[in-house]
Structure 1
């Protein structure tokens, strides 16, 4: 998504759909727009893919490149889920061994039930969605499940808190200088946590440091474009693929334009 200003300083956004993701193909299409108009663009919001940054730099010479906050936060959420899944596989393996041992003894395996009625395996499976949310948005059942989860698996709580701390920086800070300081403090927490996945995220943030901090200039995101993309994917999935591309685009225009 690109943001520009008219002669009166009013901001506006432009969303375009281009076939394919090859950088040169996209550049060739965008460069059909006169350079005078492209110089009016003040911000381009991109994900962390290298080809998107290349397109922005080559096509919009006067722009500030903004790395979308939601792509950064998504990496942190995936790191939390990685820890949950790792522990779930450990529980599944231990449970399989216990089932085999009881079978050899002529017994029927009975898994331990936790206070909320979950088994350990169910606890780790059913905690998936609550780990994407902030604590303020948890339901009563999710609060109970989270308390049990964090007591049994403190590494998940540590990973969850790191992801929420990063999200809080984006949600509450409007000053670029303060955000820079808060991110530096977050890096310290990551280093002390010794989570390999979060260290990888921290390095990714450092690689895109300037463009991530540019978010705090105007708090611009490409959420509208991502939402539209999700609608297209859902619409396409309903028909299990697309044969007639022109008719598909016609239907999209009628439904969402």
Structure 2
């Protein structure tokens, strides 16, 4: 295989198009010219091979060995018998663009990863504005339907002047459905009102954290769905109550406050997984603070509540645990009595149904990484499309080809 054939296969350009190659200190120059072939006139639709003239174009291709690849393209201009002139068409050039479809495809592939626009521009040796122009061709419309299991959560997006945005996901298929610009109740109502009633009635379960706002909106627009509290947030309520007791004891017992501060992770670790050294530290804290001992006992007993799977036993276990909380006389745990009573149905659903906000929380974490490496994203529409584009595992090729065909 000749050198030009190898280079052509590497760059996705036919070897017969490459006439010569030259290397400089910062770039590779490829002189390309397509063979003469019949072209159809856009005016009368007849075929012609008559050449009127040539135009020299400089088109940026991909990069290799940290050098830019430029195509010096000698483009023909054909003339038809009707008098209409037009440029020839090739797979490595597009009208009004100085980049090849291959380069735009590489840009889109880079944007499918959690990285900044500036990093993509540096990798592809183009400007940030060029990357934005390519990505602006990618748009996601509102979903036309809703899944049987719907998950809703908020995240700190700081886009479009709003502190919080809302994410909707399908936890069963691990797909992000949409990103909403506001956490406002009116805006949520307007969004869900766009879906017909029969589509909203198809939603059977909704997973969320313990947000009164979300519960009010979802009960209004999804009356047929059962609300499921996320188990992580449920366990966190008990863990936070234990932490509040530890902080109070740490502030009261100044002489041994270091013991409570340095060993706070021992309190949240599973009792069965404690090492001998950790068990000794735990007993030391209980020696100084009987209140912390009672709080830890409540936390451990709640872990036994989570082991029940049938609805009747879970209701009985929750009632028994709440009676222990009431008898403990710990002010830090008393707020749980009201919470577990107010969210009783949703908590029982959380312990009996296999649905949670785990996938949604993972998406929120990826969004935080994207924000951090990009130093914030202010344009909400671009922010939304970027999140959906990163998550669209099977949609990358379709979307990229759509961008390339649109720009051609």
Query: TM-score, normalized by length of structure 1?
Result: 0.76
More helix by share: 1
CA contact 2:179–2:384 (8 Å) conserved in 1: no
CA contact 1:3–1:43 (8 Å) conserved in 2: no
Shift of the alpha carbon at 1:161? 2.0
Q: 2:311 maps to which residue?
A: 176
Shift of the alpha carbon at 1:18? 1.7
| Corresponding residue to 1:165 among 301, 316, 323 | 301
| Corresponding residue to 2:218 among 36, 56, 61 | 56
**What does 1:87-236 align with in structure 2 at a 5 Å threshold?**
87-91=249-253, 94=254, 120-170=256-306, 172-236=307-371
CA 1:82–1:41 in structure 2 vs 1: closer, same or farther (change >3 Å)?
same
**Ranges in structure 2 where 5+ consecutive residues have no aligned partner:** 1-145, 150-170, 393-408
Shift of the alpha carbon at 1:244? 4.5
State the aligned residue count.
224
CA contact 2:229–2:350 (8 Å) conserved in 1: yes
More strand by share: 2
Residues in 1 aligned to 2:301 and 2:213: alpha-carbon distance in whole angstroms: 29
SS at match of 2:204: strand
Cα-to-partner distance string for 1:106-149 (whole Å, 9 max, x where unaligned): xxxxxxxxxxxxxx333211222222222133355433322222
SS at match of 1:17: strand
Query: TM-score, normalized by length of structure 2?
Result: 0.50
CA 1:242–1:164 in structure 2 vs 1: closer, same or farther (change >3 Å)?
farther
Residues in 2 aligned to 1:165 and 1:203: alpha-carbon distance in whole angstroms: 19
Q: 2:236 maps to which residue?
A: 74
Shift of the alpha carbon at 1:182? 0.4
CA contact 2:326–2:334 (8 Å) conserved in 1: yes
Q: 2:148 maps to which residue?
A: 4
Structure with greater contact order relative to length (CA < 8 Å, sep ≥ 6):
1
**Ranges in structure 1 where 5+ consecutive residues have no aligned partner:** 6-10, 96-119
